[in-house]
Amino acid sequence: MFFLNHIWLIPLFPAFGAAMMFFFGRRLQKATVNAVCVGAVVFAFLFACFTVVEYTHFAHGTGHPFEKIVYTWLGSGDAHLSFLKKDGTTAQFNADAGFLLDPLSSIWLLFVTGVGMLIHIYSVGYMAHEGGYYRFFGYMNLFMFSMLTLILANNYMLLFVGWEGVGLCSYLLIGFYFHRKSASDAANKAFIVNRIGDAGFILGALTLSWYLGSFRFTDINTLARSGHFAIGDPVLTAAALLLFVGACGKSAQLPLYVWLPDAMEGPTPVSALIHAATMVTAGVYMVARSNAVFVLAPTAMKTVAIIGALTAVFAASIGLVQNDIKRVLAYSTVSQLGYMFLALGVGAFAAGVFHVFTHAFFKALLFLGSGSVIHAMSGEQDMRNMGNLRGRIPTTFKTMFIATLAIAGIPPLAGFFSKDEILWQAWRSADGGFPYLWLIGFGTALMTAFYMARLIFLTFYGQPRMSHEVEHHIHESPKSMTGPLVVLAICSVCAGWLGVPASLGGTNAFGKFLEPVFAREVAASVAPAEPQEPAGEEHRGLEWTLMLLSVGAAVVGGGWAYGHYANAGKDYPEPIAVKAPPLYTVLYNKWFVDEAYDYAFTGRRKIGKIRLGAMGAGEASSWFDAKIIDGAVNDVGWVTRAVATLSTWWDKWIIDGVGVNGPAILARMISYPARLFEWGLVQWYALVMVAGLLGFGVYYVWK
Amino acid sequence: MQSHILSIILFTPLVGALVLLFVPKENKGAIRWIANIFSLGGFLISLPLVPMFWAQRFEVTPTHFKFLEGTPNNWIPSIGAGYNLGIDGISFLLIMLTTLLGWISILSSWTAIEIRVKEYYVWFLVLQTGMLGVFMALDFFLFFVFWEAMLVPMYLLIGIWGGPRKLYAAIKFFLYTLLGSVLMLLGILFLYFHHHTVTGVFTFSIPELYKTAPLIPFHTAIWLFVAFFIGFAIKVPMFPFHTWLPDAHVEAPTAGSVILAGVLLKMGTYGFVRFSLPFFPAVVSHPRVQSWMIGLSLVGIIYGALVSLMQKDMKKLVAYSSVSHLGFCTLGIFTLNSMGLTGSVLQQINHGISTGALFLIVGILYERRHTREIAEYGGISNVMPLYATITMIMFLSSMGLPLLNGFVGEFTILQGAFTANWKWAAWAAPGVVLAAAYLLWLYQRVFFGTVTNPKNEKLHDLTPREILTFVPLIIMALWIGVYPKPFFQILEQPVNQIVQTIHDNSNANAPVNAQVAPAPAPQALAVVGPKVVGTNVAGPKASN
């Protein structure tokens, strides 16, 4: 039990690496950085392997989850800090730093550490000539820490720590080349769009705790499966939908997918690790983790399936015409994530998880391969300037070719099994109705084969379209880069064999392993029919037909691309541009969604003179604040001053003037004549006396 | 020492100010050293309080206050005023925040203040004592003395050492807050005379007034609540009483902004928690009043964030972000449940740490370039990488990234709001999104890209003194983010006490038509909140 009891060490290995880079990175040699950061992930991988092995012994195949609580994170650790549940009883506020291992997290744990390790090794070669080497590896290790916390958390809040942590690392790594405005713009976009999803996630988790009284997965699953809650319970439906908003942000589903294509501004290993193989599957993980709640909310399930299917076909349609090699892969990722949600939405959780698993290998391989191509092409990413590289970088070509076959669904490679499982379940979910979800999935498969083959032909076949300067420098990547490619190629071939369906004579070991996580033993009576139950013999023919159809779609799509691009020279024609120019414009401009968002939500673009969205609201609020609220405050000040001025005038001229000085002036005026007699000038008295005497004299003389 | 530790903490800064008076003003070096020694000493001397308080965090005392000093009415017995100090978990945390931020702000002023150095430090230390006194006073008379004593030094700090519009800002700050305090004074006097009417004793003792204030009939209590509310809402500041804040912040010197945001704004929220809630439990739990309070808080959250988004001046941006963050604090308070209140007090501490740091961050650039215009900068992370890193950490803390402090407070508030009424939480959630938007956009414009302005090419990175100002803040941010349990434990008892008071009194004096159904029907809970559960209306309710 050593490894299980110390499961919390797994995220701490890379956390240690990140801390080392934070404090000492600047002073370290590249070799030391490699030893610390790559070493940390290798340790995490080995530790994870031992832990999972130990877990399978511990669980004896029952899938009983193992939980290890390290300490109380949120909450006071006793029962005194509590909140009121919906039903009026109180529940303890508590979220532990606690770790959970069950088949679901085992799978994620293994492929995240495994693929993460390969990509770290690859990065040693890829980033060798870049500045900020230690910064890159510090962020990558921080990412591994967050992702492992996300996977191993035993409650929604600790999961959210990882959830936000991976978002932060994504932000930091997209903006790694922060000198470029486009990179920092993309980083901001990623973080803020994710935050919208996060708000949904938080509200969803709060709804669950308000209703069920806990953040802990095991508590919530037990309660949800207890049979106390009816199918379609409105509160659980709301919670499930809110959680799905979070998943839409993190896993780039409609309408929050817009950040992922831009995220390709980051270094290519980042695109492979974070924006293809691991982080973007966090939404799938979270929904699968909450499956007990989702199955009680058919509306939410249907929403998940429809959003997933629409995202799959929507993103694939954009991928058909993009010229940037990484952008094609980015839209492909969005599209494949749509497949995964389609699977979850039709209740085929194991199939969705299986596709996450296989996709991690071939998509990481495709991204790393594209990185190798870009490396060889001296930084060129535009496929219009590539061509005929297959002889020049043979290992990259071969491995990418394998990955393309895998993603297109050619048997017996990994993608075939997982994708066909999803399509089959989508068909079955129609339950006699029109299988429109299957049809969308089928169409997407066709497009996938086309755009992937287009990518391969434009890059590796046809005529060289690059400049001589670039052509001169083309070289195969170093061993540290091609090594991981080869390992991933082997996985892309073999990973699917873990889940060979019964109809092809397999045992679907992968699905069996996961069964306990998605089991509904108690709720079986209320839950809808389990779509994953072994298909009867009568379905086998149908299942084979669908398989043939989707393989056929892959071949047709690939052949189509072969016809158009296999001999592409300079100024090769785009078939869609030739046949339907308006459609091409729309697809090329990504359905103008970014522009629409800028008009409506961010407010970065004005409609005429009017600005809408957050910036519009911000401008309006600023105006209101300055003119109305502060205006009112200043007006109060102005009125006070005006009244004061008026009072001063009143005081000076009326009160003091008329009231106080007035009587004085009056008295002075009245007293003036009397004053004349008391003037105090002796000469004046003498004059008056003389005048008086004269007066008397004149009077008597006259008389 | 235990019996006098509060007085010692309280008067250490004031002693420093007195000592400074005897230092010749030409000797700037000595003045700086003495001021820093006393502010650091004030912080260090408050540290022993931590283990002492920790040891008795769950102890129940008759007044619910600990470390009591003095007795009621011992100061001016004829009017019933006393030098009476005491703290509970809420004031304990705020006191620790004050001593920490006081030290940091005085340390950060070392090179920033060049004129009238002596007066500056004297006033700063006086301010420090005033703030500590507000959090410690258990006597309303004493409280009011400290409350007003705090106002004057801040007025002078803005008015003398401020920016170009310092006089406008200082006078606006002073008059606006004075208006609030006058109304509050009237309220205090009413409580004082009411206490006399009920008991025949004149006293300003807060624990005594706790006993009589809830007995005031609803129709009177509501006016008293309004008087206190205006006083505190201006201080917080709550929307729409907030416009003094951006002006005061923009004009204040860096250290003044740190203290203003970090501590002074907490006076308002502290007032709500310490006075408005326990004095007027029936008023605050009245659904109408509560929804107004919540409404203003929610508007503040979103509005503050939106205005913040469009600011061109860094300090103004941070100031408006305070309006948004304090909206979360008041939201938590007026949920009137343990979760909301706990989260609110935690968030007050967090805001002091994060926003205090943000003002330090702005101040560092200002000191080098003497401008706060965002457009003047760009590409700063090329020339000041360490500064850029620290800024990123504090921005993340401010926007509530888990494992940093902001998340713990915000989330606890949201949980409290959600259980009271899910719509409140739903309305607050966009604030979290917008916080990321305005902070990251600011970061992008200041730090990312290449250096385009030649004046920024030669900026030097942080000095050791500047690093030292950030270290304690980062440690606190990480501590609260990773291991908040001690903080939850410290707050548990006082918060539950307040909730209990509200719970016990909520129905007693409410008008007949108040829609408070005693039966805890879940539908009613969703609208009214959890406090209506109480049916055990024990206590002296019927006296009026």
Give me the mean pLDDT over the A204-232 stretch: 90
In A149-168, the residues whose Cβ lies within 8 Å of chain B are 157, 160-161, 164-165, 168
Rounded mean pLDDT of A203-217? Answer: 93
Q: Which residues contact B214 (CB under 8 A, 6 or more apart)?
A: B278, B279, B280, B281, B282, B501, B505, B508, B509
Given a cut of 70, the residues of chain B with pLDDT beneath it are: 1-2, 507-544
- Which tops the pLDDT comparison, A313 or A672? A313
Span between the terminal Cα atoms of chain B, in Å: 44
Please report the pLDDT score of residue B538 as a whole number. 39
Residue of B nearest to A92 (CA): B339
Residues of A whose CB is below 8 A from B522: 86-88
Average pLDDT taken over every residue of chain A: 89
Q: How confident is the model at residue A545 (pLDDT cuts 50, 70, 90)?
A: confident
How far apart CA B256 and CA B260 sit, in angstroms, is: 6
Q: CA-to-CA distance for B55 and B60, rounded, in angstroms?
A: 12
A90 strand-pairing partners: A84
Closest CA to B46 of B95, B104, B108, B105: B95
* N-term to C-term CA, chain A: 149
Tell me whether residues A199 and B432 touch, CB distance under 8 A: yes
ipTM, two decimals: 0.89
Report the alpha-carbon distance of residue A494 to residue A500 in Å, rounded: 11
Chain B's closest residue to A210, CA to CA, is B419
**Mean pLDDT, range A158-166, rounded to an integer:** 94
Beta strands in B327-409 (DSSP E): none
Parse chain B into domains and list their residue ranges.
2-543
- Residues in B touching A74 (Cβ below 8 Å): 408, 411-412, 484, 488
Q: What is the pLDDT of residue B513?
A: 41
Q: Which of B447, B483, B520 sits opposite A88 (nearest CB)?
A: B520
The token pair that represents A271 in the structure block: 């695109």
Q: Could you give phi then psi for residue B352, rounded to 5 degrees?
A: -60, -40
- The verdict on a CB contact (< 8 Å) between B485 and A171 is no
A255 preceded by a cis bond (ω within 30 of 0)? yes
Indicate if the pLDDT at residue A512 is higher than 90. Answer: no
Count H helices and E strands in chain B, helices first.
24, 2
- 261-290 of B, contacting A, C-beta below 8 A: none
Give the model confidence (pLDDT) of B190-247 as tens digits. 999 999 999 999 999 999 999 998 889 999 999 999 999 999 999 999 988 999 999 9
| More reliable by pLDDT, A655 or A676 | A655
Q: Is A648 exposed, middle or buried (0-12, 13-18, 19+ CB in 10 A)?
A: exposed
Q: What percent of chain A has pLDDT above 90?
A: 52
Region A366-375 average pLDDT = 92
Alpha helices in A25-74 (DSSP H): 30-59
- A97 forms beta bridges with A71
pTM as predicted = 0.90
B335 with B422: CB under 8 angstroms?
Answer: no
- Are residues A614 and B309, on separate chains, in Cβ contact within 8 Å? yes
Verify whether the Cβ–Cβ distance A207 to B422 is below 8 Å: yes
Whether residues B432 and A618 touch (CB distance < 8 A) is answered with no
Q: Is A635 on the interface with B (CB under 8 A)?
A: no
- pLDDT for res A571: 82
Residues 61-90 of A with CB under 8 A from B: 71-78, 80-88
pLDDT at residue B535, as a whole number: 38
Residues of A in contact with B396 (CB under 8 A): 168
Higher pLDDT, A650 or A503: A650
* pLDDT of the residue at B479: 95
pLDDT band at A538 (very low <50, low <70, confident <90, very high): low
CB A422 within 8 A of CB A441: yes
Closest among A127, A121, A173 to A146, alpha carbons compared: A173
What pLDDT is attached to residue B534? Answer: 37
Q: Is the dihedral of CA B121, B125, B130, B134 positive or negative?
A: positive
SS3 of A63, please?
coil
Location of structure tokens 């006097």:
B189
Largest CA distance in chain B: 74
Closest CA to A257 of A316, A301, A202, A205: A316
Which long-range contacts (C-beta less than 8 Å, at least 24 apart) are formed by B180-185?
Answer: B180/B230, B180/B231, B180/B232, B180/B233, B180/B234, B180/B235, B181/B144, B181/B147, B181/B148, B181/B151, B181/B231, B183/B227, B183/B228, B183/B230, B183/B231, B184/B144, B184/B147, B184/B227, B184/B228, B184/B230, B184/B231, B184/B232, B184/B271, B185/B144
Determine the Cα–Cα distance for residues A297 and A6; give it in Å rounded to an integer.
36
Taking Cα atoms as reference points, which of B396, B245, B371, B406 lies closest to residue B318?
B245
Cis bond leading into A484, ω under 30°?
A: no
CA distance A245 to A256: 9
Confidence of residue A536 (pLDDT cuts 50, 70, 90): low
* Number of Cβ within a 10 Å radius of residue A675: 11
Q: Spell out the SS3 assignment of B178-236.
A: HHHHHHHHHHHHHHHHHHHHHHCCCCCEHHHHHHHHHHCCHHHHHHHHHHHHHHHHHHC
Q: How large is the average pLDDT for residues A428-443? A: 84
Q: Hey, is the C-beta of B319 within 8 angstroms of any chain A C-beta?
A: no
Instruction: Give pLDDT, residue B543.
Output: 39
At residue A527 the predicted structure's pLDDT band, cuts being 50, 70 and 90, is very low
- Cβ partners under 8 Å of residue B356, min gap 6: B101, B104, B105, B258, B261, B262, B473
Please enumerate in sequence order all residues whose Cβ is within 8 A of that of B149, keeping only pairs 6 or more positions apart, or say none: B126, B129, B130, B133
Tokens describing residue A397: 């070509």
Asked if B447 has any chain A CB less than 8 Å from its own CB, the reply is: yes
In this structure, what token pair is assigned to residue B34?
């003495």
Give burial (CB, 10 Å; 0-12/13-18/19+) of B523.
exposed
Chain B residues close to A76, C-beta within 8 Å: 485, 488-489, 491-492
